[in-house]
Amino acid sequence: DAKTTQPNSMESNEEEPVHLPCNHSTISGTDYIHWYRQLPSQGPEYVIHGLTSNVNNRMASLAIAEDRKSSTLILHRATLRDAAVYYCILRKAGSQGNLIFGKGTKLSVKP
């Protein structure tokens, strides 16, 4: 499985945008880029996913580099509730298998 690399931790101020990077230089053409986050003492929750084009939903935006070797999860206005560990995960198209979690990025949000 192709690996992803994320910074261990990031800090943000409340109500400011946050850009969470992810490198996946060995991504294959059939790998989708998924993002999940895990709030303290909870199970992970789905955030967003994409293949080639940038994606937006009510939670976040996903910007995917043209060569697909990196991506950035964008939280447009961080809130205290966004403090969590964010996981960038590659998943083969059509896969119904388990997710493979790396260490993720621990995001702290300061008031």
State which of residues 26, 103, 108, 110 lies at the interface with other proteins (CB under 8 A): 103
Contact region with other proteins (CB under 8 A), list: 9-17, 19-27, 71-79, 101-109: 101-109
Residue with tokens 């961080």: 78
Does 8 interact with other proteins (rule: CB under 8 A)?
no
Please identify, using beta-carbon distances, which residue of 90 and 109 lies nearer to other proteins: 90
Beta bridge partners of 11: 108
> What whole-number distance in Å separates Cα of residue 6 and Cα of residue 15?
23
Does 100 interact with other proteins (rule: CB under 8 A)?
yes
Q: In angstroms, what is the minimal distance from the CB of 39 to other proteins?
A: 10
CB burial of residue 96 (10 Å; 0-12, 13-18, 19+): exposed
Closest by CA to 34, choosing from 1, 82, 71, is 71
Q: Which positions from 20 to 59 touch other proteins by CB under 8 A, shown as an x/- string? A: ------------x-x-x-x--xxxxxx--x----------
> What whole-number distance in Å separates Cα of residue 34 and Cα of residue 45?
11
